[in-house]
Amino acid sequence: MIEGDARVQALQTVRSEPRLPQDYVSEISRLWSRAQGAFLEIGRLLIRAKDTLPHGEYVAAVEAELPFSSRTAYQLREAARWAMGGAVPMERLPGSYSTIYLLSTLEPPILEAAENEGLIRPELKRAELIEWRRRRAGESTSGIRERLARLKKERARLEQEIARLEVELAG
């Protein structure tokens, strides 16, 4: 690596500063927060490149040369687009673009439920969001099953009543 490389400088800075566990946590948290801003800025630039470059140039000249996949580029763009839309204040957004991307895929009522349950916060992990969605889908499915069981029971009761009335009319 080149001596003036920003990565070398960052590693040297981090190596010399923290001494205590809370110092490490503080420094890592600070850098992670900076990384979140960088992810959103990368997403914003990807949006701009896709919107302004002539058709075909974005994929050929930009996306093909990036140090990450086109899927990652897509998620970065969508996470940035959603974050800039202001559905959630920036200071409450999770620190990971992939978690922000998953939030961007939630329908407004589901997002509101996540908000109401206190799920949307800076320390939200992607795995926690996935588990919450899975549980929520399970709850929805069990609610549907319960309703179906009640309706079948009601149908059986109605069929018995119809049969009784038909016998009464025939006799």
Residue 47, token pair as written in the block: 């949006």
Cα separation, 75 vs 97, whole angstroms: 7
Taking every pair of C-alpha atoms in the chain, what is the biggest distance, in angstroms?
102
Domain boundaries, the chain: 6-106, 125-171
Percentage of the chain modeled with pLDDT above 90: 46
Q: Express each pLDDT in 104-155 by its tens digit.
A: 999 999 999 999 999 999 999 999 999 999 988 877 676 677 778 888 988 9
* Residue 46: Cβ-neighbour burial (10 angstroms; 0-12, 13-18, 19+): buried
Residue 35's contacts (CB-CB under 8 Å, 6 or more residues apart) are 95
Q: Is the pLDDT at 76 greater than 90, yes or no?
A: yes
Of 87, 93, 97, whose CA–CA distance to 40 is shortest?
97
| CA geometry: angle 118, 136, 153, nearest 5 deg | 135
